Chain A
Amino acid sequence: MRFTHLKLENWRNFLAVDVPLQQRVFLVGANASGKSNLLDAFRFLRDVADPQGGLHRAVQSRQGVSQIRSLHARRYPTVAIEVEVGDGDSGRWTYRLELTQNNQRVPIVAREVVRRGDDTVLERPDKDDKADISRQTQTHLEQVNANKKFRELAEFFAQVRYLHLVPQLVREPDRSKGLSRDPFGGDFLEQLARTPKKTRDSRLRRIQEALRVAVPQLKELKLERDAVGVPHLRGLYEHWRPNAGWQNEDQLSDGTLRLLGLLWVFLDGTAPLLLEEPELSLHAAVVRHIPQIIHRLGRRVGRQTLLSTHSADLLGDEGIAPEEVLVLQPSHEGTSVTVAAADEQVRALLEGNMSVAEAVLPRTAPRGVTQLGLFGE
């Protein structure tokens, strides 16, 4: 299954978003245009559906409804997320959640709707909600005893994976102690260590093969626990003295760690994957191949990937279709999101043999950016 459509109302930077989603989605926009906030809508659904999460926790971890609600929201102050999910075989699901808060700033479900095809599976608030207002502090999505008819959808949301690996956190896991499945990599090595040995070794071998191209000096990779049980990633670098080149994760470069994390997460699971700027710390020649890897993942295991990027190298891949690119453009009334293919000028530029990078990136550059060059004058 994958997300096929997204609608947002009053969600962070966005007053209204209504876009179709492909197997690969590239989010392109200026700094602070809302790329991460758009990805956060999917993370929010995951947090609500997570058995250890729920609506209250998902909202509180984002500092309340007032922080989620768009500053541009006026007449209709509820925040709404609506997604369509499907794969063409098992029908199409629609999930809509509208949020507000009460006087005590407790998040309230203003509306929750689940549809399968044309059939309405859930429509809230119902008469029980109206009789007991406390029921509206929880979604049915998060309740096992209430989501039986759409458990498939709840499980799908809960599996969404987000990665924005910070090499410093991988090297110093103490900074994010106690976190589980930390998207910033605080428990990345622990995640590797928890994976069954056979699977882990197989994946590390595949990663090692791929890394050999990007980091030719790296000859071997292995995971070992130290005397107190802390997992360490060890890489053997080519050296004239045999076995002299073993290095721990704290000596591996940022680029090596980020690429390793990226390749690991590509192999780990089939649920939708959210990536923030996967090009960070990587050489342009490596970045150029990321769209192909993602395409292959989509074809082989049906995995959907949504990523934000500023990289001309990444978007320079000739296989990227304009239907896969969402362009975010900030304005005084919030950020608008459009599919690049819907823009006649972009289509004309692409027909003139330009890549998506050449046609789209200049449209997202801030006006007067040349003034930055004068900084320090």
Chain B
Amino acid sequence: MKATPLVVTVALEGPCDVPIVERLLKDTGLEMGEVYVQGGKHRLDRQLTGYNSAARFAH
């Protein structure tokens, strides 16, 4: 039976990072889930606490 691939939620600095992460995940046998694209590193840094809290509920 084929195993269900692990779906990873990603948070990124900007839209240019999306295809890179997608390729990295694909090469490691993972699937890309929801994508949170922020407008730059500063914004991503500000939201990190929220992302880490949300990750606790990932399943």
Contact = CB atoms under 8 A, between A and B. Distances in A.
A349 B32 CA distance: 19
B50 interface: yes
B29 interface: no
B34 interface: yes
A195 to B, nearest CB: 45
Looking at A349, A359, A368, which has the most chain B CB atoms within 10 Å of its CB? A349
B50 A352 contact: yes
Contacts of B54: 344-346, 348-349, 352
Given A354-B47, A358-B47, A370-B18, A349 B53 contact: yes
A177 interface: no
A358 B44 CA distance: 11
A344 B20 CA distance: 28
A179 interface: no
Contacts of A367: 32-33
A363 interface: yes
A351 B57 CA distance: 14
B34 to A, nearest CB: 5
B53 A352 contact: yes
B3 interface: no
A363 B51 CA distance: 13
A351 B35 CA distance: 19
A301 interface: no
B50 A365 contact: no
Interface residues of B, number: 19
Contacts of A363: 34
Interface residues of A, number: 18
Nearest to A343: B57
Contacts of B33: 367
Interface string A356-371: 0011001101011010
Nearest to A346: B54
B5 interface: no
A354 B35 contact: no
A243 interface: no
B46 A353 contact: yes
Given A352-B50, A354-B47, A362 B36 contact: yes
B19 A348 contact: no
A44 B49 CA distance: 44
Interface string B18-49: 11001000000000111111000000001101
B32 A353 contact: no
B58 interface: yes
A344 B55 CA distance: 10
Contacts of B34: 362-363, 365
Contacts of A352: 47, 49-51, 53-54
Contacts of A368: 32
A62 to B, nearest CB: 34
B50 A351 contact: yes
B2 interface: no
Contacts of A349: 47, 50-51, 53-54
A245 to B, nearest CB: 39
Closest 3 A/B residue pairs (Cβ):
A352-B50, A348-B53, A344-B57
Interface of A: 344-346, 348-354, 358-359, 362-363, 365, 367-368, 370
Interface of B: 18-19, 22, 32-37, 46-47, 49-51, 53-54, 56-58
Given A348-B53, A370-B22, 4 more contacts: A344-B57, A348-B57, A352-B51, A358-B36
14 contacts: A348-B54, A349-B50, A349-B53, A351-B53, A353-B47, A353-B50, A354-B50, A358-B47, A362-B35, A362-B37, A367-B33, A370-B18, A370-B19, A370-B22
